[in-house]
Amino acid sequence: MTKVIVVRYDEIGLKGKNRDFFVNCLVENIKRKFAGLEVTRLRAPRGRIFVDLPAPMVEACCARLREVPGIASFSAGVALEPDFDRIAEWGIRWIDPLLTPGETFTFCVRTQRSDKTFHKISTECDFEIGSRIMKRLSGKGLKVDIKRAQFVLEVEIGPKQTVVFHHRVPGLRGLPVGSSGEVLSLLSGGIDSPVASYLMMRRGCRVHFIFFENREFLGRGGYDKVLRLAGILNRFQGRGRLYVIPFGAIQLAIRDRCRPAHRVVLYRRMMYRIAQAVARQNACHALVTGESLGQVASQTLENLEAVSRVVSGNVFRPLIGMDKNEIIDRAKKIGTYDISIEAHADCCSIFMPPNPATRSRIPNLESDEAGFPGQSLMQEAIRKMETVELDESR
Amino acid sequence: MIYLDHAATTPADPRVLEVIGQSMRRDFANPGAVYRIGLDAANLVEKAREEIAALLRLPASYRIIFTSGGSESNNLFIKGTAGGKAACLGLEHPSVVAPLTCAGEKNGEILSGFQKEGRLDPAKICELDDRKVRLLCLSHVNNELGSINDPGEIVPVLQSAAPNVRLFLDGVQAIGKIAIPPGFWDGVAGYSVSAHKIYGPKGIGLLIYDSRFPLAPQVHGGQQQFGVRSGTLPVPLILGLTEALKLALERVGEAQVHLGKLRRHLIAGLEDLSGRLPNLRLRFNSSVSQDHQSPAIVNFSFPPVEGEVLLHHLEAKDIFVGMGSACSAQSKKPSRILTGIGLSEEEARCSLRVSFGRENTIAEVDVFLMEFSRAYETLYPTFARKVG
């Protein structure tokens, strides 16, 4: 018995002439995601992707499909001849264990034909299969309910094979990773930036990460944490890179030579500049940050403007309008929250100003920046940058 | 590598590893099972109990409960002892302070005014009865300072001035560093031990308590260990703990001499540095004398340089020390113990704890002193510059 997983895609279905590009992208992502698993065949006739696979592989493959952006839903089922008796047999096999003596249980059959030459139309198929199941199980409390069935037996009759299944697992939706291009996300180790990265993956971006580190003062804890976060995020995209920038010298220069109230915004302006340079070197077409309006002192309108001014390309802030609880919910769902809340030193207290400015004025920031060699420190930091190729982990 | 953080944990002794490895392969049976191999495993546990009781010279009424470690032992005793209020100085390990205060002020009290130089001031004991304290919980050796609460001094005063107060000691930092003299257990109602602080395995510890007083279980289940602590007994870890305890107690005198030498050498070296480096404002937080002080721990402050940053600079030289505070912007609270003995927040933040072990040498202390002074001199200008 060949098992089949039917994969339905999301927004790709709305695409026009370039639809094949998106479908191929999704197929490639799924293939890569299945690495190490035994899959017989993967094919994409119009509107669907079918995965033929041996029965023992079904559970593992389904688990991995849950992590692939671009999928609307998928269902595991069986491939059969379009024979009503055999289809009904599978329905009975699945429904019978769900019946409880003395209780009513409702079901219906929904058939779709992509093979329009099939000798019966969909509703006739529903009837043929449904009546066979009823004949066997109506004595055990089974009833038909077309609108609110507790169990829906789905049948897809195609030109080459008929697939029968009964449960739709929701996918991540969105677009397949890589279909939109590559972006660079500023990953901090906190709750927000992993969520922002994930949301961009769902918009079809391959997300690389950049982390600003002060190992001299804070040790390796932050680096390890970010590596683990990137590892989790990478499950949704397969591969990506982490750029680690030594940031201690820049922080020291800003701390020693600039107005304390401006420190945080000045750190961020340097981070943005470095991130933009790294993005350009690596063909990333946008920066991504986890900023959310008003969340902390550096994320007021004025301060966001002050950091945005130093770069000329795209800066995406997918969390800008979300509140903290929404972001936390997302982080829990994608599995980064528990790592994000682990205590780690993200900034030594000597670098923090006692009273950070919430409304920095750009001319003042620029006059502060004239007081330290930003350009050469930036070049030096990029020269010392470490690049970590994140493996295609599952 | 120079490892100077033995109060955090110790590397397992090869002899302990050998015992555990052998037992892991051999003693797999559940000691609760009634067939032969189960009974054999149970016999090993009982033999270990007898050996530990002999090593520690436990009186007959004292029970040994195997737990997952020091934190569980402290929790089990404090939460499991009914009747009256429990109190501590607030300078104890969080696994003593937190269970004591989690039940609310009625059941637990921090006696913040009762400490002197990091230990209980015996002159304050007479106030305990008025405060309706029934259980006094102290560190036998303080985990950050190394200060000693000596039951030999405390118990006689308790018995005359506050006879209704029982004494519990967290012994996690004491075993193997200070001797357990004859008569030690008179008046000590409970005592906790952790294996990994004495070159044993992580994941096992002891609660020793006087079973004449009831103790309510905190982990319920299969009624193992007199019903006080349910859970299948980990035979290999128990044997490993026993071996580690044997090695620690047999050589406690030797250890004291060795650790004492290292400690004196470090203190002298730091004092010398303080004379040579005009910027070094050194303050010893642990006692520099041997009186009431563990030979294994030296805690000192050096404002304005932050301890955590110095720690990472030493780490870069492969030297590992401990600290009682974090410089993270998230956890700005400095060590409760250091502020508890009167340090300012800055002094507490700018501190390190060096804790010695068997394998440390005088030469390693010298390397530490050299790297400490280099790191300090590198960092001092940054921290000294007042910019905000």
The CATH number covering residue B79 comes to 3.40.640.10
Task: Kindly state whether residue A176 falls inside one of the protein's structural domains.
Answer: no
Q: Tell me, what's the pLDDT at B323? A: 85
State residue B329's pLDDT score.
46
- The Cα A147–Cα A200 span in angstroms is 37
How far is it, in rounded angstroms, from Cα A70 to Cα A146?
Answer: 30
Asked if the model's pLDDT at residue A248 lies above 90, the reply is yes
One domain, residues A226 and A358: yes
Q: Does a structural domain hold residue B42?
A: yes
The whole-number pLDDT of residue B324 equals 62
Identify the H or E element spanning A246.
strand A240-246
Contact between A353 and A261 (Cβ < 8 Å): yes
Based on the structure, what is the number of domains in chain A?
3
Q: Is the dihedral of CA B282, B287, B288, B294 positive or negative?
A: negative
Q: Considering the domain boundaries, does residue B131 fall inside one?
A: yes
B311, A255: Cβ pair inside 8 Å? Answer: no
Interatomic CA distance for residues B269 and B366, integer angstroms: 8
The single-letter DSSP state of residue B286 is S
pLDDT on residue B241: 98
Chain B residues touching residue A354 (CB < 8 angstroms): 388
A292, A201: one domain = yes
Which residue on chain A is closest to B386 by alpha carbon? Answer: A256
* Nearest beta carbon to residue B312 from set A216, A256, A263: A216
Answer yes or no: do B143 and B68 share one domain.
Answer: yes
Q: What is the mean pLDDT of residues A349-375?
A: 89
**Rounded to the nearest 5 degrees, what angle is found at the Cα of B383, between the Cα atoms of B378 and B384?**
100
Q: How confident is the model at residue A119 (pLDDT cuts 50, 70, 90)?
A: confident
Instruction: Tell me whether residue B9 is in a domain.
Output: no
Question: In which residue ranges of chain B is pLDDT below 50?
Answer: 325-330
Residues of B in contact with A260 (CB under 8 A): 387-388
Q: Is the residue at B327 inside a domain?
A: yes
Which of these is catalytic: B102, B137, B327, B350? B327
Q: Are residues A339 and A243 in the same domain?
A: yes
Answer yes or no: do B323 and B272 share one domain. Answer: yes
Provide the shortest C-alpha distance from residue B203 to chain A (in Å): 22
Q: Is A216 on the interface with B (CB under 8 A)?
A: yes
The minimum CA-CA distance between B266 and chain A, rounded to whole Å, is 24
Residue contact A346–B349, C-beta within 8 A: no
* Residue A164 sits in the same domain as residue A223: no
Q: At B329, phi and psi to the nearest 5?
A: -65, -25
Tokens of B77: 């005793």
The CATH number given to whatever domain includes residue A103 is 3.30.2130.30
Q: Is B327 an active-site residue?
A: yes
Please name the member of B315, B328, B387 whose beta carbon is closest to the beta carbon of A255: B387
pTM of the model: 0.88
Q: Are residues B44 and B159 in the same domain?
A: yes
Q: Which of these three, A142, A171, A200, is where a domain ends? A: A171
Q: What is the ipTM of this complex?
A: 0.81
d(CA B303, CA B351): 8
Q: How far apart are CA A148 and CA A151, in angstroms?
A: 9
pLDDT of residue A328: 96
User: Do B220 and B285 fall into the same domain?
Assistant: no
CB within 8 Å: B327 and A344: no
- Determine, for residues B329 and A252 on separate chains, whether the beta-carbon distance falls below 8 Å: no
Q: E strand or H helix at B321, and its extent?
A: strand B319-321
pLDDT number for residue B331: 55
Alpha carbons A80 and A102: distance in angstroms, whole number: 33
In a domain, B5, yes or no: no
Kindly report the average pLDDT of chain A as a whole number. 92
Statement to judge: residues A104 and A163 lie in one domain: yes
Q: Is the Cβ pair A216, B326 closer than 8 Å?
A: no
Between residues A145 and A394, the one the model is more confident about: A145
**Shortest Cα distance from A354 to chain B (angstroms)?**
7
Judgement on whether residues B207 and B295 belong to the same structural domain of the protein? no
Residue-number span of the structural domain to which B310 is assigned: 252-384
Look at residue B204 and tell me if it is in a domain: yes
Clarify whether residues A191 and A163 are in a common domain. no
pLDDT digit string, tens, across residues B254-278: 999 999 999 999 999 999 999 999 9
- Provide the 3-class DSSP secondary structure of residue A82: coil
Do B198 and B79 lie in one domain? The reply is yes
Residues B45 and B85 in one domain: yes
The domain total for chain B is 2
> Which of the listed residues A39, A63, A80 is the one where a domain comes to its end?
A80
Q: What residues in A contact B303, CB-CB < 8 Å?
A: none
pLDDT of res. B290: 86
Residue-range definition of the domain harbouring residue A34: 1-80
CB < 8 Å to B387, chain A: 255-256, 260
How many helices (H) does chain A have, and how many strands (E)? Answer: 14, 15
Q: Which of A80, A108, A137 is the last residue of a domain?
A: A80
Q: Are residues B80 and B122 in the same domain?
A: yes
Amino acid A392: pLDDT: 58
Q: Is residue A321 part of a domain?
A: yes
Peptide bond into B151 cis (omega under 30): no
Asked if A255 has any chain B CB less than 8 Å from its own CB, the reply is: yes
Considering only CB atoms, which residues of chain B are within 8 Å of chain A?
Answer: 306, 308-309, 311-313, 315-316, 326-332, 349, 382-383, 385, 387-388
